[in-house]
């Protein structure tokens, strides 16, 4: 790794102990960023991701923080900048599908928790990222990438996920609005909407055959295919791209 690569700054990836988040963290570390692997409960998974990054000569630390807890988020950003240097990017990946139930059977408390993790959490994380990166706050600019879902645009028709789909629609809308708000301050904001990706979360809600059949390409996606898209959005190669949602869904 060259000196230039080592100087790219820090990236926080929320929900990075497994699946798409882990793939993103490892990809960005390979791009030369110091990566903060955030997790809420899976300590072993987060440490495994960190070990893999360090084993390839990259820089990474694991930091536990529940994105639904504002105090945790503040501590996450403080530690990230203290240990890894100036923030260059934030990837809001942490999320949950919530309770699989029809809306008339949903518990209000479960809905509130779903919104707190999938919508409010990314907003609070973005708040701290803007404070760290905005030229209006003395920063040098940066990038925010929010992980949404193709379910926000083309709901797969699986009963019980209406509330989840709504939260991902909110993420896309938030990304577009925030991009306009902070563009003059050197921050680009985009979202990525994955289709059916081969992760434990997908396995818990869809059968393999059903998932593959839902894509015109006839297969599920891989976490690294989402990571490659995020890598490009964070990079200088996407310097004129902001306010955009990129669908990576095999044609859905």
Please give the full DSSP string across 88-118, using - where no structure is assigned. Answer: EEEEE--------S-GGG--HHHHHHHHIII
Active site residue 164: yes
Per annotation, catalytic residue among 33, 39, 164, 240: 164
Neighbour count for residue 54 (Cβ, 10 Å) = 13
Tokens of 210: 């059903």
* Beta partners for residue 145, in sequence order: 91, 190
Contact 114, 96 (CB under 8 A): yes
Please state, in angstroms and rounded to a whole number, the distance separating the CA atoms of residues 228 and 233.
9
Please give the full DSSP string across 168-208, using - where no structure is assigned. Answer: HHHHHHHHHHHHHHHGGGTEEEEEEEE-SBSSHHHHHHS-H
Contact 213, 252 (CB under 8 A): no
Contact 140, 86 (CB under 8 A): yes
14, 16, 18, 22: CA torsion to nearest 10: 130
Tokens 């992980």 appear where?
A: 147
Q: Give the residue from 219, 247, 241, 126 showing the smallest Cα distance to 178.
A: 126
**Active-site residue list:** 164
């Amino acid at each position: 790794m060259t000196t230039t690569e080592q100087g790219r700054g820090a990236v926080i990836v929320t929900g990075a102990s497994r699946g798409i988040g882990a793939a993103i963290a490892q990809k960005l570390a390979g791009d030369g960023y110091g990566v903060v692997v955030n997790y809420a409960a899976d300590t072993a998974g987060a440490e495994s991701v960190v070990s893999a990054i360090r084993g390839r000569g990259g820089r990474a630390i694991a930091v536990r923080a529940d994105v639904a807890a504002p105090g945790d988020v503040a501590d996450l950003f403080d530690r990230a900048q203290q240990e890894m240097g100036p923030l260059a990017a934030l990837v809001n990946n942490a999320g949950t599908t919530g309770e699989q139930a029809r809306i008339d059977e949903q518990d209000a408390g479960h809905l509130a928790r779903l919104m707190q993790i999938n919508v409010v959490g990314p907003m609070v994380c973005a708040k701290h990222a803007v404070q760290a990166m905005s030229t209006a706050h003395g920063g040098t600019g940066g990038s925010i990438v929010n992980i949404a879902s193709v379910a926000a645009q083309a709901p797969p028709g699986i009963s019980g996920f209406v509330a989840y789909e709504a939260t991902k629609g909110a993420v896309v809308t938030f990304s577009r609005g925030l991009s306009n708000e902070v563009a003059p301050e050197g921050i680009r904001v985009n979202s990525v909407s994955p289709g059916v990706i081969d992760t434990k979360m997908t396995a818990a809600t869809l059968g393999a055959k059903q998932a593959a059949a839902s894509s015109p390409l006839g297969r599920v996606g891989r976490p690294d295919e989402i990571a490659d898209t995020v890598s490009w959005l964070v990079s200088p190669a996407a310097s004129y791209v902001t306010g955009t949602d990129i669908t990576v869904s095999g044609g859905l």
